[in-house]
């Protein structure tokens, strides 16, 4: 695990310096993950490939901003996901990327109406550790609890617990956001 982190740091450093070999190695290492994520939404291999390539271009342009806080793969996924979102906005296609379930915890009037997709992503960024990662995989990327468990080597029950905890935290953050918005407006 330590060696993987060191290799990742070396790749990042090389990409910051615009080293083409480092960029190619990074692309080859993470392409399957990013392509899989895009295929979940695009459902067309050519479009998914275009989005992945645009996403990697953004990654290479912004890699100097990665602060080594949190997962590098998660940071890259967020950029590719924004690229995916931007692609569909540009193409004026109607697609819904993130649908928060309307459960009792989200029924307070006006909480979700005033939030945009980027606002929700920023709220998700306030989640910490495994709960953030599991919630992202479940709510944004569409993995099942079983798939999350297999990928992260945790039980299905643990995955469900993390999503539940993340929802509780998001509920609190949403309520706080609403109070702030009401005080400003």
Q: Which 3 state secondary structure label does DSSP give 116?
A: coil
Of 16-30, 81-95, 140-154, where does the model show the most confidence?
16-30
Q: Hey, what CATH topology would domain 2-90 get?
A: Rna Polymerase Sigma Factor; Chain: A (1.10.1740)
Q: Which of 130, 161, 159, 163 is nearest to 145 (CA)?
A: 159
Dihedral angle over CA of 141, 75, 105, 161, nearest 10: 70
Total-model pTM: 0.53
- List where CATH 1.10.1740.10 sits in the chain: 2-90
Read off the pLDDT band of 181 (50, 70, 90): low
Q: In a 10 Å sphere around its CB, with 0-12 CB exposed, 13-18 middle and 19+ buried, how is residue 184 labelled?
A: exposed
Q: With beta carbons less than 8 A apart as the criterion, state whether 16 and 8 touch.
A: no
Indicate the CATH number for domain 104-184: 1.10.10.10
User: Residue 143 corresponds to which tokens in the numbers above?
Assistant: 């993995």
Q: Is-contact 130 151, C-beta < 8 A? A: no
Contact 174, 112 (CB under 8 A): yes
Q: Within 10 A of 34 (CB to CB), how many other CB atoms are there?
A: 25
pLDDT for the residue 96: 46
Q: Give the SS3 label for residue 5.
A: helix
Residues of the chain with CATH 1.10.10.10: 104-184
Mean pLDDT of 116-120: 60
What is the pLDDT averaged over residues 110-116? 48
DSSP state of 63: G
Evaluate whether 74 touches 136 at the Cβ level (below 8 Å): yes
Element (H, E) at 42: helix 20-42
């Amino acid at each position: 695990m330590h060696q993987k982190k060191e290799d990742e740091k070396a790749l990042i450093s090389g990409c910051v310096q615009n080293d083409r070999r480092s960029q190619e190695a990074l692309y080859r290492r993470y392409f399957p993950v990013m392509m899989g994520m895009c295929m979940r939404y695009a459902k067309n291999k050519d479009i998914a490939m275009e989005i992945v390539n645009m996403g990697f271009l953004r990654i290479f342009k912004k890699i100097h901003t990665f602060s080594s806080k949190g997962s590098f793969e998660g940071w890259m996924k967020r950029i590719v996901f924004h690229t995916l979102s931007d692609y569909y906005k540009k193409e004026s296609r109607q697609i819904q990327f993130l649908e928060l379930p309307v459960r009792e915890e989200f029924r307070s009037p006006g909480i979700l109406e005033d939030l945009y997709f980027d606002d929700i992503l920023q709220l998700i960024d306030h989640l910490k550790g495994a709960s953030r990662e599991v919630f992202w995989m479940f709510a944004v990327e569409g993995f099942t609890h079983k798939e999350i468990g297999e990928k992260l080597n945790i039980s299905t029950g643990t995955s469900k617990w993390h999503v539940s905890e993340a929802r509780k935290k998001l509920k609190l953050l949403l309520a706080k956001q609403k109070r702030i918005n009401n005080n400003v407006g």
